[in-house]
A and B are shown apart, each in its own frame.
Chain A
């Protein structure tokens, strides 16, 4: 465990998973719903940006803006045109909406393959400087940016949920949706806000992680599952729980193959998922309720 490069790698992977898990958490708080389309949102942000730069010869930052706007639109459409109508039609049956969102996951993937092409594209470097040397290890610029942005996003979201009006509304609804509705709180607006903010966080994650290994239209499902697992491990008790979960899952993905060989991570992660599902489905950090 003394190889700095492995720790850096675990931190990078963990921050990515943590951001995706945070996006899950935000939507869970505001809508009580697991939005499995988050991975494809992240993919669209990374792949769309590169496609606009390479194929459409758009400058980097306008391309980023367009891709993020597309993701925000996708997130809003998911809530307004899919989840909300289905829940209304089925009397709040979230399972039906969940299956529809899973279908959106694949629709976004295939749509991205159709529009952006089916080959892997490189992620766009948002900053350019020499790799940071840490002992014998190197931190690539894209990784440094991912780490820094992750900290900023988590601090900002924590402050927003604690201090911001909409953030506190989100928490209140997350605590008890039915009571919030009875009290006349704007539940629908909060749900939409949660989907959009969650989409923004997923877009940031995709943009920042894409330079590590490129991004293709099929990246979304893997990212969806990794973010979900990070949330399951970390729990929903605090805004920092997804980051802890992400770092733990990232650590497993990096250190397990080092000590146990290449095939081991799949078994270990499956084992972790089963253990958490069976014995601690609320994750490491669960919310304490005073009685």
Chain B
């Protein structure tokens, strides 16, 4: 066969067939490596008996969000296991049921519906990309079942419309804007360039982030590349042509962030570099970077090693992880999400009334988080679905020459 057109057509047909085969549907369990997986109902010494309380989790263990969701998902499993070892919730065991929307917003509604209808989930954890979680809101509203998005930072998730049953923990983007602007002022940064990945999640983040930044700096360049790009030299060269005081990389992290930082380090070694939170929370990506390429990079951290509750969680997780494991904010936020659900169910006195659980969630006040600075708390209310109480959940941390997060940035820290 020498005709490239026919050959490519055959490839595309086969791709469609295989994709359809792999894509799955709501009737057969969907796809992904953990669809329908159940954990947490295991055999532990203090394992309570009775009908399990089911936590349904949408975990994008594949897809653009997988770089951080896999970390969070593992800690959620550990937290459920710990709760079961401690006697469960209201004397009942907890079972975690997992589905995977692959960070694809078009799949999220059916995945959430499957968790509710097929698995009879009592409460939900939405550990997926921000754009995907957005699509779950109307389903939750209709079903009247509460859900927490453990690592989401997009405040629009927790804002109307359809936000009665959805909650986030971490500081929202509006807080990021406040911190970045404080940092730019402290470092005399007047012009900024933005390098973004093209994911729908980052498009949503930028919609919230950039208008705020525009009020405190002059954004002189905005470049974008595919989330799986292997080369961004052209985009960084365009940024270099504008000679900004600083560059902010806005990405879901992973490979894209590393490629962008490698290229920035090579083409603009003297420019001040900022990033969102992802790179600091993805230890496995640090070794992807060229030697020294992350040195000086300032990122939005949500974890403070001196926080006693952070230390406490680290002691719990450390024996369950590899030798080179390093705790991240995603671990802490995932852990807190499970315990917030536990508190709400216990306060409601039942796991069978989602409306009561939702009201109990809205009554949580001053929950001491395992991330952020010491004293950082989470509270919810009927009109407060973003948990963070103030900027204490954030800090700016700088990478060292070994491509590892080191000390808090000495030029500026958010007020606590």
Is there an interface contact between A214 and B255, defined as CB atoms closer than 8 Å?
A: yes
Question: 0/1 per residue, B1-28, Cβ < 8 Å to A?
Answer: 1111111101101110111001000000
* Inter-chain contact B288/A94, CB cutoff 8 Å: no
A213 touches which of B8, B11, B19, B231 (Cβ 8 Å): B231
Whether B267 is near chain A, meaning CB under 8 Å from some CB there, is yes
A64 within 8 A of B: no
Q: Which residues of B contact A222 (CB under 8 A)?
A: 228
Q: How many whole Å from A107's CB to the nearest CB in chain B?
A: 8
Give Cα A99 to B17, complex, Å. Answer: 10
- The answer to whether B70 and A228 have CB atoms under 8 Å apart is no
A209 to B231: give the CA distance in the assembly, Å.
11
Cross-chain contact of B10 among A95, A113, A214 (Cβ < 8 A): A95
Q: Contacts A34-B1, A118-B61, A281-B4 given: A214-B288 contact, CB under 8 Å?
A: yes
Interface contacts (Cβ under 8 Å), in number, total 130
Give chain B's interface residue range (CB within 8 Å of chain A). 35 or more
User: Smallest Cβ distance from B328 to chain A, in angstroms?
Assistant: 14
**B223 in contact with A118 (CB, 8 Å):** no
A contact residues, range: 35 or more
- A216 / chain B contacts, CB cutoff of 8 Å: 255
Tell me the bound Cα distance from A68 to B363 in angstroms. Answer: 59
Q: Does A51 contact B (CB under 8 A)?
A: no
Nearest residue, chain B, Cβ from A107: B18
A-B contact pairs, 18 of them (CB 8 A): A6-B237, A12-B231, A36-B7, A95-B6, A102-B18, A103-B18, A105-B15, A122-B288, A131-B266, A140-B290, A213-B258, A228-B4, A228-B7, A232-B4, A258-B235, A258-B237, A277-B4, A277-B8
Additional 15 contacts, C-beta under 8 A, given A13-B231, A209-B230: A9-B234, A32-B2, A34-B11, A99-B13, A102-B10, A102-B13, A105-B15, A106-B15, A106-B22, A119-B67, A219-B228, A221-B15, A228-B7, A231-B4, A258-B235
Which residues of B does A touch, CB under 8 Å? 1-8, 10-11, 13-15, 17-19, 22, 33, 61-62, 66-67, 70, 198, 223-225, 228-231, 233-235, 237-238, 254-255, 258-259, 266-267, 284-285, 287-288, 290
Chain A residues proximal to chain B, CB less than 8 Å: 3, 5-6, 9, 12-13, 28, 32-34, 36, 94-95, 98-99, 102-103, 105-106, 110, 113-114, 118-120, 122, 131, 138, 140, 209, 212-214, 216, 218-219, 221-222, 224, 228, 231-232, 253-258, 262-263, 277, 281
